[in-house]
Structure 1
């Protein structure tokens, strides 16, 4: 067993300089190097000082409020329901109830996305040139979801894309309002498109 030697004064000074730059692992009151350890530890028979009584509390009262973890993306119909009404309010109410009959219609069933986009642009601009005000765009509801498909897929690509196409150039200048169709005109599988007057 080796005996520890006492540090010389210059070694003690060097040690203090190093100790000042280090972060302690456990916070303890600093003690001088040459000081002997504190007196004897209290015996077990001595009672510890009484603690302050705990104030009443509820579990989790200081925790942050939980946020909603599942945020589902909005559907095309949700976006259309939230859109402001730009056409006459009475005419819009009649339109929603299926009281207005479309003057022309296009059926995009079975078309690819590229072909459907081109056909829709041609149809809307042609209908506006002919002076029509209300047309029906039939997209279909899309394929039913496969319950055995391991990966969820969006239903109806054309149903999702058509309202976006109608709000983008070159169609945005021709379209005044887009709304989901009434049940008698196709319901979820079609959209009413109310056109601006051509100037």
Structure 2
């Protein structure tokens, strides 16, 4: 790599790269696009040397990935302020309670699916799911550690057949289980 003699000396390749970069920038309000540095006076050209011809690579258009499916979280949209206030204060009574304690992962998943089906059939709006306090659990854990059901619960809900019927997921009020439980607010049937 050769050393530069001054701050404005750029090679022809660097000048082209700068010009290309500058053409893609949208200036901030009140500013103008940066100028491309001028080429210094070049010495007379030396005899041409044979260089291998570069083939231009065709531009490959990458397919645009579809946006990711919405992930259910314990907070976020789906409810108006009135619902959020009621849930935060603990004034909402669950219409249906589902306790997943004491089950293995497979049994807890089946119980969650059946419980959601039953709650929807009964026209419930607020479902309380008791799954235990969240604990750090490795994703590949198959229930050897405590907290495995809670670690998988949101994934099960989001990927399950009833995901479109759930308007929001919120942490439960302390009198309904606190960090060890979740409220599932179901959409009204239309």
Alignment check: 8 A CA contact 2:72 2:168 kept = no
Partner of 1:61: none
2: distance between equivalents of 1:166 and 1:81? 10
2: distance between equivalents of 1:183 and 1:159? 17
Tell me how far 1:99 sits from its aligned partner. Answer: 1.2
TM-score, with structure 2 as normaliser: 0.53
Tell me how far 1:82 sits from its aligned partner. Answer: 7.1
Task: Supply the RMSD in Å over aligned alpha carbons.
Answer: 2.6
Q: Which stretch shows the higher mean deviation, 162-171 or 79-88?
A: 79-88
One of 156, 163, 183 as aligned partner of 1:192: 183
Tell me how far 1:169 sits from its aligned partner. Answer: 2.9
Alignment check: 8 A CA contact 1:124 1:174 kept = no
Report how many residues are paired.
114
Detail structure 1 runs of 4+ shifted over 3 Å in the superposition. Answer: 79-83, 142-145
Partner of 2:116: 124
2: distance between equivalents of 1:124 and 1:177? 14
Alignment check: 8 A CA contact 2:171 2:181 kept = yes
Within the alignment, does 1:115 sit opposite 2:107 as a pair?
A: yes
What secondary structure is seen at the aligned counterpart in 1 of 2:127? strand
Within the alignment, does 1:183 sit opposite 2:182 as a pair?
A: no
What secondary structure is seen at the aligned counterpart in 2 of 1:96? helix
Within the alignment, does 1:158 sit opposite 2:149 as a pair?
A: yes
Gaps of 5+ in 2: 1-70, 138-143
One of 85, 88, 91 as aligned partner of 2:83: 91
Alignment check: 8 A CA contact 1:129 1:198 kept = no
Tell me how far 1:156 sits from its aligned partner. Answer: 0.5
Alignment check: 8 A CA contact 1:128 1:197 kept = no
Deviations 1:66-118 (A, max 9, x none): xxxxxxxxxxxxx9777422022211221122111101101100101011001
2: distance between equivalents of 1:131 and 1:82? 22
TM-score, with structure 1 as normaliser: 0.51
Max Rg structure: 1
Within the alignment, does 1:104 sit opposite 2:115 as a pair?
A: no
Tell me how far 1:166 sits from its aligned partner. Answer: 1.4
Alignment check: 8 A CA contact 1:85 1:177 kept = yes
